Each structure stands twice: as C-alpha cells, then as structure tokens.
Amino acid sequence: MKEPRKDIEKVEGTEEFEGGVSRRTFLSGAAVGAAGLAVAGLAACTPAGDSAGGTTLDTAKYPALADARNPIDWLGTPPNVKPEDCVETVEADVVIIGTAVAGEIAGYGAVKEGAKVVMLERNGTAHISGSGIGFSNSKYQIEQGLPEVDKYELFQLIFNQLQGRCDQGLLASWVWHSGAVLDEMEENVLKPAGLPGTATGEPPGPEKKYEIMQNLASHVNFDDSGGDNLEVFNNVVHDWIKTNGGQIFYNTTARVLTQDADGTVTGVIAQNQAGDYIYYKAATGVVVATGSYGGNEEMMRAFANPWLANYAKNYGVYNARVTETSPITTDEKMDDGTGHKMLCWAGAVMEQTDPSFQSWEDTGYWFWPFLHVDTSGRRFRNESSSWLDHTHLIAELPEGVNYYWQILPTNDFEMPSTLMPIPFQVWGEMMAGTWEEHVADTIEELAEKIEVDPAVLRATVERYNEICASGIDDDYSKLPKYLDAVDDPPYHAVKAEIHFYCTSSGVKIDRFCRVLDKDWNPIPHLFAAGNTVGWRLGSGYQMTVGGLCNGWAFFHGYVSGKVAANPDWTFDMIGK
C-alpha cells in the first residue's frame, strides 16, 4: 500500500510551504532589485507587525497588495535607481519588455506603424512559449479546407467554457479580428520567409454533440517538421523585426518603469548582462509582455488556492518546451512575476480571483479515455475530459500528487481518441519508454505493482465493467463509444503525470491593451499582453480552440504594439 504523503501542507495566510521535491527552484521573497528601497517618485512600503505576527501592508500606496487572497507582501518595493544613475540612455518610440509570442508580435505591430522600436529580452535567445496558435476564421485556415466558423457560436462556447470568467471585450475582439491579423502576418512575414504552417481541427458534427472536448475552431502549427514548439516561428518574427529596423537587446532584464508626475509611463530601466543599468526611454509607449508569475512562490501563496500553490511549487515544469537551440541562458527565473510587479508599482490592478493556470501532461495516453484511477485505486472522473481543463481534478487529489493511473486491457479494441488523429497503438509506440508502465495477469497483482489496495482496485474495475456492459455511465457520464471493459489480461497500468506549466493571470487591460488602474482608468503610455494579463481564461484552460492562450498573446500583442505606436489606431485598420 502506498503511504499518504506527509510533505504537503496547505498554504494559509503567510504560512510557509513545507517539504516536497520540486522540479524547479522557486523564488523566495522575490522582490525585484534592492528590497526596502524606493524609486524616484514612489515611497517605499514599510510593513509593520500586527497582532497575528503578519504584516500591515501599505495598500493605500500600492493597491495591488490588497488584491491578493492572503495578506502577503508579494510586491516588495522597486529598486532605488533613476534614469540619471544609468550608464546609458537608449531612446525609442516604443519599448517592449519580453519577446515571446506577445512581445514579438507587439514588436511587429509597432514597427509596421513606423515606430522606432526597442525590445528587451532577459534570455539570450528567442523564447518558445508553447506550440500552436489559435485564430478565428483566417483566410489561412479556410484556404486549407476548414469551414468558416460562426463567430457568435464561437464566442458563446468559449465564454461558457471559461465559466463566464473572462473579459468579454478581449474575447470579442479576438473572435472578430484575430483571423485578419494572421492574414496580415502571413502576407508580410510568414509567406516571404517560406514558413510552413498547418491549420488543424474541425468543427463538431452531430457525432460531437455531447463531447466534453468541443473543438469548434482550429489552431495553426508553424512547424511541419513535427516539432512541438514555436521555435521556427519565433526566429522568423525576430529576424523580420531586426531586418525592418527594430532593435532586440537580449540578456537584458527590465527592473522598473519610469513615470512623469502625472503617472504617464516614460520608459524602463533595465540591467544588461554586466549588471549595468540602462535607461530605455519611450516616447509613445511601453508594452509589458513578461509572461507568468507561476515561479514566484510568494505570489502563488498570495493569489492562489492552497492546492494550486502547492501544485505549482512541487510540480512545475516551466522549461517543458526548451530546446538545445533555444535554451534558457539566464540564471534568473523566467516566470517570476517581474512584469506584474513593475506594472503594479506603476498603479496597475491585478485580477482578484483564483489565477488561471495551464498544465503539461508528460506521460500517458493524453486523449484516449481508458479507465482512470487515483492513488487509492478509485475511479474519479469522466476520462474523456482533457487534462488541460481538468488538471484540478488531479491536483486536488487527497495525497497532493500529480499523477493518476490509466488501466488498460489487452485486446484489439481500438479506443477512439477525443482529439488526436492517430490510433492509440501508434501513440504508444511513439512514446515507448517515456512513462512508467506495469503489466500483470490479475487485477490484484496490478494493484500491488502500483501500490493501491487490491480490493479497492478490484471493486473499481468490476463497477467499471458493469457500466461498460450496460452502455450507460451513470457514474460520470462518459459516452458509450469510450466504454471499453477491462476484461482481457494481461492488464496494463500507465502512469499519467501532469505538471504545472504557468499562470495566465495578471493585470487588467481594455480592448486596446491599455493597462488600467484600480478605478479601471488607463495608465498613460502603458500596455500589456500575453500571460501578464488577467481576466482571460477563467480558472483554467478551455478546449474550444486549441492554442487559445497563444492566440490571445498573438492578437493582443499585435494590438498593443499598434496602439503604443499610434494612439489613433482602430481595429478596422488591420491589414492596411
């Protein structure tokens, strides 16, 4: 029998995490720069002890501190550095912080508006950030044989899947205009570079009516060589920006935004690889596209439920898509919430509900709904749900683990996939050796191998086989076509591990990607895009559109770059 884990402790208030073996190192006390100091024009927070042994936070000066679930000073204070302290001043119209999908497309948008653009990247290379990108009704997709999607239906399905927890303006603008942005990029950047791209997916027909995995629209994968990342795409966009006059400073980490007395953002102070401060002065706007805060332990403790904070700490795989040719070169965390802090020091407001997050399944038959059991040997869900939108079902399991077991019979039944276009046998051959698998002639022997109570697993399998025989799953409502009895030995148990990848939560923006303050008024010359932005993805991912997070990063990056360069820009100017 597997002993329950004793090393996971709930996170309440300012209580510390305890134990657990982390897949990555998290920041502890992740204040950017010199803690306890103040930047010109901003007074430092001076927490004072209270009767509970915690702190009294300066929420009047830094309202973002009041937005957290727990009273933790996650924000810290800005570094005490001013433009006159910098060794160099670099002037531009638009300065963009971060060069993954959101940042690089912001760079494209600003350059297309004729702006002088400077981009800052703390890493030494273009950053991968996922695989496919989701769009709505682009010519690119339709010319590859996909039917046009009803935009009203698309809006409704996504909004409902996100539990109504997303900014309707941000969603609507993506639904109605994202396809045109891809068409513009395809004409100006992708086609001239000979970049391969494949639009995948299909609208649900009658046979998909009751599927949990409703995939209405499609995403585009830009690597037909089979690579599951955006490496080629990123390199093409970065090269286009540099060829067309934009400057990209790698190994350069933004530290703090600068503002005029009226709050207008005027630039950013950053550090180069040598540790020197450089002032990047922005005449018309700064775009912050710095990604997740999932690697910042204090921010996760402040904003997230205890189970999610623990899950992020113990099972984080931020480097899931890093390759040898696009490595992480910086010693600093890439998902430490630096951008969120800079925005909040400038007056931005943070999303105040549970942060949206994304996950990464490392092992197992991802889209084949065999019988799933937890670490006690019990069935716990409808197996045709995707790990992307049901990770919490695993993360909230009693023992605080990040895996479950897939129980398979040995027979010639071809379990249909909920999404993948290949048979599970082929997938198994492709993934051979990448996961833990046990085989046994009896259910009891299999139970011993996966360390669960044999009687519990036997009862689970017997109940599941009864369901399969009846053709009606009144336990979890899995469709009849996915009901395959575990009745043919030897039996297999495949360990399916799911890891925390990133948060998709942050500051409030309007439809033109202008960052808003606590009263939802725009902070002049300040913009944000990508996973630095909140109010987008509910409490987790959705499966209506594959690659939607990247799709929003792409689209809102484009909009932020355009408006930062040209405040009169409007959506009807796309493609012109």
C-alpha to C-alpha distance for 555 and 567, rounded to whole angstroms: 17
Residue 306 is inside which H or E element, if any? Answer: helix 306-314
Residues 436 and 566 in one domain: no
pLDDT value at residue 25: 29
Q: How far apart are CA 71 and CA 3, in angstroms?
A: 34
The total domain count for the chain is 2
Would the CA dihedral through 306, 387, 436, 128 be positive or negative? negative
Contact in structure between 266 and 259 (CB atoms under 8 Å): yes
DSSP per-residue letters across 275-296: S-EEEEEEEEEEEE-----TTB
Place of tokens 């409490």: 539
Q: Is the pTM of this model over 0.85?
A: yes
Distinct helix (H) and strand (E) counts, the chain: 14, 18
Residue 474 CA: distances (Å) to CA of 1, 281, 450, 464 = 29, 62, 27, 11
Q: Residue 555: helix, strand or coil by DSSP?
A: helix
Report pLDDT for 572: 96
Q: Does 130 reside within a domain?
A: yes
pLDDT of res. 55: 43
CA distance 256 to 508: 19
- What HEC string does 344-381 produce? HHCCECECCCCCCEEEEECCCCCCCCCEEECCCCCECC
Last residue of a domain, one of 463, 485, 500: 500
Cα–Cα distance for residue pair 554/140, rounded to 1 Å:
15
Query: Cα–Cα distance between 416 and 105 in angstroms, integer?
Result: 37
Which among 319, 257, 270, 266 is positioned nearest to 291, based on CA atoms?
319
524, 490: one domain: no
272 and 140 share one domain: yes
Identify the DSSP state of 517.
B
CB–CB of 446/373 below 8 Å?
no
CATH number at residue 550: 3.50.50.60
Q: State the residue for tokens 């997709």.
A: 141
Is residue 95 in a domain? yes
| Identity of the residue numbered 528 | A
Same domain for 388 and 280 = no
Map 437-463 to HEC letters: EEEECCHHHHHHHCCCCHHHHHHHHHH
Task: Tell me how crowded residue 439 is: count the other CB atoms within 10 A of its CB.
Answer: 14
For residues 533 and 469, membership in a common domain is answered with: no
Report yes or no on 444 lying in a domain: yes
> Is residue 515 located within the same domain as residue 474?
no
SS3 content of the chain, % helix, strand, coil (to 5): 30, 20, 50
Least Cα distance to 74 among 34, 32, 102, 38 occurs for 32
- 406 phi/psi in degrees, rounded to 5: -100, 120
57, part of any domain: no
Q: Calculate the CA dihedral of residues 183, 187, 190, 191 and round it to 10 degrees.
A: 120
Single residue among 473, 500, 527 that ends a domain in this structure: 500
Q: What is the per-residue pLDDT for 18? A: 32
As a whole number of angstroms, the distance between CA 348 and CA 217 comes to 33
Contacts of 519 (CB under 8 A, 6+ apart): none
| Whole-number Cα distances in Å, 561 to 112, 171, 526, 529 | 9, 18, 11, 9
Domain boundary among 478, 500, 522: 500
Whether 473 and 533 share a structural domain: no
Which pLDDT score is estimated for 209? Answer: 76
CATH, residue 437: 3.90.700.10
Of 123, 110, 323, 329, nearest to 230 (Cα)? 323
Q: What is the C-alpha to C-alpha distance for residues 414 and 422, in angstroms, rounded to an integer?
A: 11
Radius of gyration of the chain (CA): 24
Distance CA 576, CA 574 (A): 6
pLDDT tens, position by position, for the chain (576 residues)? 444 333 333 333 333 333 333 322 222 233 333 333 233 333 223 222 332 333 455 777 777 777 788 888 899 999 999 999 999 999 999 999 999 999 999 999 999 999 999 999 999 998 888 888 999 999 988 988 888 889 999 999 899 989 899 999 999 999 999 999 999 999 999 999 999 788 876 655 666 778 877 777 778 888 877 677 899 999 999 999 999 999 999 999 999 999 999 999 999 999 999 999 999 999 999 999 999 999 999 999 999 988 899 999 999 988 878 888 889 999 888 899 999 999 999 999 999 888 999 998 889 998 899 999 999 999 999 999 888 777 888 888 878 899 999 999 998 677 888 877 788 888 888 888 899 999 999 999 999 999 999 999 999 999 999 999 999 999 999 999 999 999 999 999 999 999 999 999 999 999 999 999 999 999 999 999 999 999 999 888 888 888 899 999 999 999 999 999 999 999 999 998
* Two tokens, residue 182: 């891809």
Same domain, 444 and 559: no
CA distance 276 to 260: 23
In a domain, 28, yes or no: no
Q: From CA 132, how far away is CA 181, in angstroms rounded? A: 16
Residue in this structure with the two tokens 């890093």, named with its chain if needed: 322
Q: Are residues 483 and 375 in the same domain?
A: yes
Three-state DSSP class for 424? helix
Together in a domain, 272 and 123: yes
Q: Is residue 126 a part of any domain in this protein?
A: yes
Give domain status of residue 54, yes or no: no
Report CA 242 to chain centroid distance, whole Å: 27
> Is residue 77 in some structural domain?
no
d(CA 111, CA 473): 55
User: In this structure, are 446 and 545 located in the same domain?
Assistant: no
Give SS3 for 226. coil
If asked whether residues 487 and 541 sit together in one domain, one would say no
- Range of the structural domain that residue 563 is part of: 88-223+231-291+505-573
Q: Which of 490, 463, 492 has its CA nearest to residue 368?
A: 492
Dihedral sign for Cα atoms in the order 113, 507, 546, 248: positive
d(CA 320, CA 291): 15
